[in-house]
Amino acid sequence: MDHPLLGIRVLDFTQVLSGPFATMLLADAGADVVKVERPDRGDITRGWGPPFIHGESVYFAAFNRGKRSICLDLTNSEMSDVARRLSLKADVVIENLRMGVMERYGLGPDELLKEHPELIYVSIRSYPNYSSRALDSGLEVVLEAESGLMSITGSGNQAEPTRQGVAVIDMMTGMAVVARIYQALYMRAKTGKGEYLTISLEEISALMMTHPWLMYLQGETVYQASGSRHPNIAPYEVFQTKDQLLLLGAVDDAQFLRLATVLGHPEWAVKSDWTTNEKRVCDRDKLHQAIESQLISEGAEYWHTRFAHAKLPVGIVKSIEAAAEEWRDRQGPKLYAQHPVFGQLAWPVSPWRQQGGNVLAPPTLGNATQTVLSEWLGEQNG
């Protein structure tokens, strides 16, 4: 089914990334997503850049396709009442404001679910509602630091911990939100009742850190920052070839035999200190040197072809420029929109819109205020 959420109305009070990413994916699945924004500035990421194109933020455009925007000043009682009435027409209300803010405007889950028992109300928090830190601010990078993720990112000889190249906790949280909303919609179809859902970045960061935390708690082994290397598998890292870097791995002994055979040294897998993964992990520096001494003789494309033919995990390390241009020029489905400022925009397909095609462009601020008030509330003037 191309649009499983067709007819589902989502009122979106989120900004920055985790919430907008979630509602973008809901829009990909066909939901009618209406983004509620402050009239003076809108989503804070409208000001994030450069790059800007004629004042429009590329960051905002990346995570807000498929939506319509309305402007409501929630500090104004008349406008907060409009938001309340819109909420009563929605299937899903989603917000990521500080705990207590929505209640201040008469838009909290208790109030809305009392009037609209079928509503699915989602709050995204930095910390769980039950936590002593529930009122603390905590952007994604704060959770990277506090969870230990930052301490194991980058190479071990770096002077300071390193943040992820993209906001992975935010994006994982967004996908978890989508999964929970699907679950809630399924339960509503069975019971006729909505529910209040809370998901926090802290809980998602803990879920992501299950492996390194258990390594320490159960095995007293501290996961260290190790660049491209995997802490439990060798080889599984980046190597230098004659011209480019190559990511190459062997996740078991059979794969290592094939890798060694491609390199012309099958004896490594049967007559050396590298016959098991445990031995290879313990001797990974010497193993790395031995493999790289062979790879340096030819270019990355040559080795990529050889290792791929041997059914080994292998990939050429690419720059952002190379990866983006390759995706742009590749045949296959993409998502497209015509934007009044950017012109044609394109995005990779998502699991919720794999067939590609045209979507709504990221909205200019308040682009659909009157239209939404008319469609949802039957009002011609906001």
CATH classification at residue 345? 3.40.50.10540
The residue among 271, 293, 316 that closes a domain is 316
Cβ–Cβ < 8 Å for 30, 5:
yes
- Answer yes or no: do 104 and 160 share one domain: yes
Domain membership of residue 214 (yes or no) is no
Q: Are residues 160 and 280 in the same domain?
A: no
Q: What is the pLDDT of residues 295-334, one digit of tens each?
A: 999 999 999 999 999 999 999 999 999 999 999 999 899 9
What CATH number corresponds to the domain at position 291? 3.30.1540.10
Residue 119: φ, ψ to 5°: -70, 140
Q: Which helix (H) or strand (E) holds 57?
A: strand 56-57
Residue 249 lies inside a defined structural domain of this protein: yes
pTM for the full model? Answer: 0.93
| Same domain (yes/no): 39, 182 | yes
User: For residue 372, which of 86, 80, 108 has the smallest C-alpha distance?
Assistant: 86
**Amino acid letter for position 199:** I
A 10 A CB-CB count for 179 gives 13
Query: What is the pLDDT, as a whole number, of residue 159?
Result: 64
Q: Give me the domain span that covers residue 372.
A: 9-208+330-377
Within a domain: 325: no
Contacts by 2-7, CB closer than 8 A, 24 or more apart? 2/30, 2/353, 2/355, 3/29, 3/30, 4/29, 4/30, 5/29, 5/30, 5/31, 5/185, 6/30, 6/31, 7/32
Residues 133 and 187 placed together within one structural domain of the fold: yes
Among 12, 43, 91, 170, the active-site one is 170
DSSP code of residue 272: S
Burial 181-194 (b: 16+ CB within 10 A, else e): beebbeebeeeeeb
Whose CA is closest to 37, among 62, 73, 65, 61? 73
- In terms of domains, do 181 and 115 share one? yes
pLDDT value of position 362: 97
Pair 137, 63 in one domain: yes
Looking at the structure, do residues 162 and 92 belong to the same domain, yes or no?
yes
Domain closes at, from 316, 339, 360: 316
Structural domain count, the chain? 2
- Active-site residue, 170 included: yes
Q: Are residues 19 and 129 in the same domain?
A: yes
Residues 346 and 283 both lie in one domain: no
Per 3-state DSSP, the chain is made up of helix, strand and coil in percentages (nearest 5) of 40, 15, 45
* Segments in the chain below pLDDT 70: 1, 158-159, 380-382
pLDDT value of residue 92: 99
Burial (CB count <10 Å: 0-12, 13-18, 19+), residue 220: exposed
What's the pLDDT at 1?
A: 60
* Residue 111 and residue 140 share a domain: yes
